[in-house]
Structure 1
Amino acid sequence: MSIKNGKKGKAASHSAYIAREGKFGRNGKADDLQLHQHGNLPSWANDQPGVFWNAADKFERANGTAYVELEFALPAELAPAQRSELVQEFAAKVCGNKPYEFAIHAPEAALGKVSQPHAHLMINNRVPDAIERPPELHFRRYNAVHPELGGCKKDSGGRHRGEMKALATSIRETFSEIQNQYLEKYGHADRVDHRSYRTRGIDKVPERHLGHARIKQMSEQAVGELLQKRQA
């Protein structure tokens, strides 16, 4: 799982990317989209994530964070419907009542040519407070004295580095627990652990994610050797 901040000006484009919309749906790219959902959008967004993220790009403060993205691998052992159920439960758990959008992709891996299911979850950290605001006010700085005159409060504000690290660890732990519940529920013996090999006392070097571009540059022999090593 990777956890990344998305800056103002990037949200709408990234939303289109995970939803495989517009230019991101061309050349068969949309074929790997298995599920696309959203939730907790304010009424002015008209149930359209693109409207919400465009407003975030326009009205969020300069150099502000428009969204946080969790990108995470999903158990290949589970069927597509089971993975969808898993992601829906995880999103509800970590997002609460905050606006979010997620998509599940299942492209063919460059290494091994197997399905590589994963999800992108975009979360906006402005917490709804039952005050109706137009989009230009929604993303303004929070006003503690007169909340109706400011924007929705961000629940990420004021946290120091240690708190952010602890939050990231907690999110990963929650996801590992939910994965294991689903693996058990659907009859699979495998389990996952969010902790590093070092923390668990395992003397083993984890495999690095290479990505499509790097794998394409590798020779057939190098790819074959890597696959043999993985199998061993």
Structure 2
Amino acid sequence: DFCHIPVSIIKRSAGRSAVAAAAYRSGTKLTNEWDGMTHDYTRKGGIVHAEIMLPAHAPPEFADRSILWNSVEQIEKARDSQLAREIEAALPRELSGEQQLALVRAYVKDNFVDKGMCADFAIHDKGTGNPHVHIMLTLRPLKENGQWGAKCRKAYDLDENGQRIPDGKGGWKNHREDTTDWNDKGNVEIWRAAWAAYTNRALESAGRPERIDHRSYKRQGIDKIPSVHLGPAASQMEKRGIRTDKGEVNRQIAADNKLLKEIKARITRLYRWSKAETEKPQTQQSSLTALWEAQQQLDAPRTRTGKIRALQESAALFSFLQANGIQSMQQLHEKIADMNIRYYDLRGKIVKAE
């Protein structure tokens, strides 16, 4: 199945704080020393596990959630500062709670903590069939002495001889560059692929046949419209037999997917059949007689119902040939090939619309 793994930045310019986010994710009460606001989420349910994982050179006191995120808030002085990165991922329901926790720990350690980031993760599961994990990550590197390092540094522009270039104002042309590669755009794809790999390994170790794929349905080559995420409220209502708007959309999508699958299967069968017929000697495909005979040989029905259906399909085929002016197998093959192309064009429009 396709898994959606959103990656986002917690930033002050959006009115957010790292302390508030950490309190909500962990279901705890924390006070943000930067603005003096207290965030109490101790009554929030569904928090299965919350844990902080630190790189070896991080100050031991960062194991305290309040100290860690208040330290982040204090080091960021600007009102539009980026405070933390957050990754959210669905956990396989096929795994036990212990197996889910082991999966998250291994993933977080290998992909983030070992790279120097401090990680604060929380597993949520309200019993509504949607277990998931929130992973908050620090953005600044930690120096070996445990102090926060700079996110970026000034780098001078150099000419072809490796010399600094004057800016005409008594200084040198320069630009800012990140001190780490954590913000590289390619990382999102790497982290998503890693989550799929770690999850599939955990499922395999548990003896489960299910597998996930971080790529979209389109990139996987699957002709399927992604369904709408119901969320806990709609999921509970649907379980009680109450039909919701989101549920209705998903039912329509499921019906559309079934129809699309049937259409695609029929086009594929026709395409392969017509292609095989066009490759036969020319004398066998010069008229509709050969086409009709070949069609009659396809899965000749034995039951009365099957024969009636075959007669209906033959009538439909005859109408199709007449309407499109098809006089040979070659013309039919070209027409079906065009239908195949238009099918994929339509699929793209449907997915975009959904």
Matched, 1:43 2:59: yes
Q: Can you list the C-alpha shifts for 1:125-173, whole angstroms capped at 9, x where unaligned? A: 222231343xxxx26565689xxxxxxx75257x5xxx41x21111110
What is the aligned partner in structure 1 of residue 190 from structure 2?
Answer: 170
Q: Can you list the C-alpha shifts for 1:154-206, whole angstroms capped at 9, x where unaligned? A: 5257x5xxx41x21111110000000001000010011111111112211101
Structure 2 unpaired stretches of 5+? 30-39, 156-177, 259-354
Change (3 A) 1:91 1:226: same
What is the aligned partner in structure 2 of residue 150 from structure 1?
Answer: none
- Between Structure 1 and Structure 2, the one with more helix by share is 2
**1:112-151 mapped onto 2 (5 Å cutoff):** 115-133=129-147, 138=148
* CA radius of gyration, larger in: 2
> Contact conserved, 1:60 with 1:140, CA < 8 A, in 2?
no
Cα distance between partner residues in 2 of 1:226 and 1:105: 26
Cα distance between partner residues in 2 of 1:40 and 1:180: 25
What is the aligned partner in structure 1 of residue 23 from structure 2?
Answer: 16
**Residue identity matched to 2:50:** H
Change (3 A) 1:212 1:76: closer
What is the aligned partner in structure 2 of residue 25 from structure 1?
Answer: 42
What percentage of residue pairs aligned between the two structures are identical?
25
Change (3 A) 1:45 1:143: farther
Matched, 1:58 2:62: no
Of 14-23 and 179-188, the range deviating more from structure 2: 14-23
> Contact conserved, 1:73 with 1:119, CA < 8 A, in 2?
yes
TM-score, with length taken from structure 1: 0.77
In the TM superposition, residue 207 of structure 1 has moved relative to its aligned partner by: 0.8
What is the aligned partner in structure 2 of residue 104 from structure 1?
Answer: 123
Cα distance between partner residues in 1 of 2:63 and 2:97: 25
In the TM superposition, residue 47 of structure 1 has moved relative to its aligned partner by: 2.4
Cα distance between partner residues in 2 of 1:221 and 1:118: 24
Question: How many matched pairs?
Answer: 208
Cα distance between partner residues in 1 of 2:18 and 2:244: 38
Of 211-220 and 201-210, the range deviating more from structure 2: 211-220
Tell me which of the two structures has the higher relative contact order, counting C-alpha pairs closer than 8 angstroms and 6 or more residues apart.
1
Cα distance between partner residues in 2 of 1:93 and 1:128: 17
RMSD between aligned residues? 3.1
